[in-house]
Amino acid sequence: MGESVTFSETDRPVVLLIDTHPDVHDRLAQLLRLEPFELCSATTAVEALATLARQPVDLVMSAARLPDMDGATLLAQIHHDYPHTVRLLLTGETDLTLIIKAINEGQIYRYLSKPWKDEELLLALRQSLAHQHSERERLRLEQLIRQQNEELKQLNASLEKRVVSRTSELQQTADMLDLAYEELKHSYATGTEVFSLLANLRLPRSKQTNRQIIELVRTWCVLHGLDDASSRDLTMAAALYNIGKLSWSDSMMVAPSDLLHSTDRERFREYATQSESLLMTLEPMKDAARLIRHHQERWDGSGFPDHLKGEAIPFGSRLLKLAVDFIELQRGLILERQMNSDEALLYIRKYAGRLYDPDMVEDFVQACAAFLSDVTLGDPTVRVLGTRELAEGMVLARNLNADNGMLLLNAGKVLNLPLVDKLIAFEAMEGAKYSVFIKEPEE
């Protein structure tokens, strides 16, 4: 069956038949009497070009032989002057040279043989006009996208100058979500930034993660020269990785994942697939959704949902897990204790080869050092020692905090033996094990 397009009485496609034989015009007029087309006729190339200059024509069907010009040459000229008019060649000859010329120079949609079969000709007309309608709709939508993207650019440029209340921010988010849903197939990269606000609105500011993960992933992509498509998919995955958590209770949203039990633990293990399911219906997001599905897989195969192992895990999912765990460790969403950035990287180093791709970890550390000014682990002059490895004269590279968050020593503190002994005693009393970031004194 041919593609069907419905035309209104006020928008009837104009079909121009060019043929020297009156009986051909009469037969076509009879055939189209019940069709929603407006038929025009011409018997010469000059008359046809005059008609085209006088009024819009949607489809031209020309005979191969005309008294003043062959049909292929005429269709080539129409293609040049009226490129959006669909062109068909109607020929009773087997002149391959003329047909090839019509195809190559006239860019015809198809050619039909004389005498034609009525059903075949009607099908050709419907398919040709349906193709033209689809192409016009594509061009209209592209223009709409360009216009809306320009409006979005202007809006983004003015946002920094606007001060709005919390209520107006929420209303703006809702409005932008409606817009993103309607135009997502054309502007989905912008839409994901809006969707990511949904998860953050459920969390206190100290627990929000999406913006930091997005920026960290972008930093990695720039440092490693990833192509635009991969960068876009990774950025969308970073923005929406936790959208499957929206159905959780408030208490579960902020609970460390390692402390979840029974039913909550099972719900946690389902959030990656739920996030994927929410996005898979949107064609442009399918690749990002696949990265989200596998971002909780582990290098040793003990992750979820599919227990993928090693390089069977998509590369983007391995990177997303590094970024998600790095930020969530600092927000207290994995372990009960909130880590600083260097401690989170030590954790990632510790589990390289078990949870994380061991070949990506050190590159990830360097990306974090480029992304965050407080990361010292990327500095080759900084070492991480236990309290019993400390020596007099060493300088703290960053603040030292107890497990309960209490500040013990400030960055820049020069250690002496009594201070080291106190740290060892305090560590033993607390039953803790401190990681001390130090920089050797300059010679």
CA 414 to each of CA 275, 374, 405, 409, 423: distance values in angstroms, whole numbers, following the listed order = 48, 19, 21, 10, 13
Nearest to 74 by CA among 40, 54, 38, 50: 50
In 170-247 the beta strands, taken as DSSP E runs, fall at none
Q: What is the pLDDT of residues 146-178, one digit of tens each?
A: 888 888 877 777 666 565 555 555 566 656 665
Q: Average pLDDT for residues 361-372, to the nearest whole number?
A: 87
Burial of 385 (C-beta count, 10 Å sphere; 0-12/13-18/19+): middle
Q: Which positions ≥6 away from 50 have C-beta within 8 Å?
A: 42
**Amino acid identity of 396?**
L
**pLDDT attached to residue 7:** 45
Report percent pLDDT > 90 for the chain: 26
Whole-number Å distance between alpha carbons of 169 and 155: 14
Query: How many other C-beta atoms can be found within 10 angstroms of the C-beta atom of residue 404?
Result: 8
CA 422 remoteness from chain centre: 53
Q: Check: CB of residue 368 under 8 Å from CB of residue 349.
A: no
Nearest to 248 by CA among 269, 276, 228, 223: 269
Q: How far is residue 335 from each of residues 36, 268, 307, measured CA to CA in Å?
A: 69, 14, 22
Phi, psi of 396, rounded to the nearest 5 degrees: -70, 130
Reduced to 3 states (helix: H, G, I; strand: E, B; else coil), residue 18 is strand
Determine contact, residues 321/355, Cβ cutoff 8 Å.
Answer: yes
Comparing 140-149, 158-167, 414-423, the range with the smallest average pLDDT is: 158-167
Give the angle subtended at the CA of 366 by the CAs of 392 and 256, to the nearest 5°: 85
pLDDT tens string 8-18: 444 688 999 89
Tokens of 304: 């979820």
Q: Is the peptide bond before 115 cis (omega within 30 degrees of 0)?
A: yes
Residue with tokens 């020692």: 385
Question: How many Å separate Cα 36 from the centre of its chain?
Answer: 41
Task: Please write the tens of the pLDDT for every residue from 226-267.
Answer: 998 898 889 889 988 988 888 888 889 889 999 998 899 999
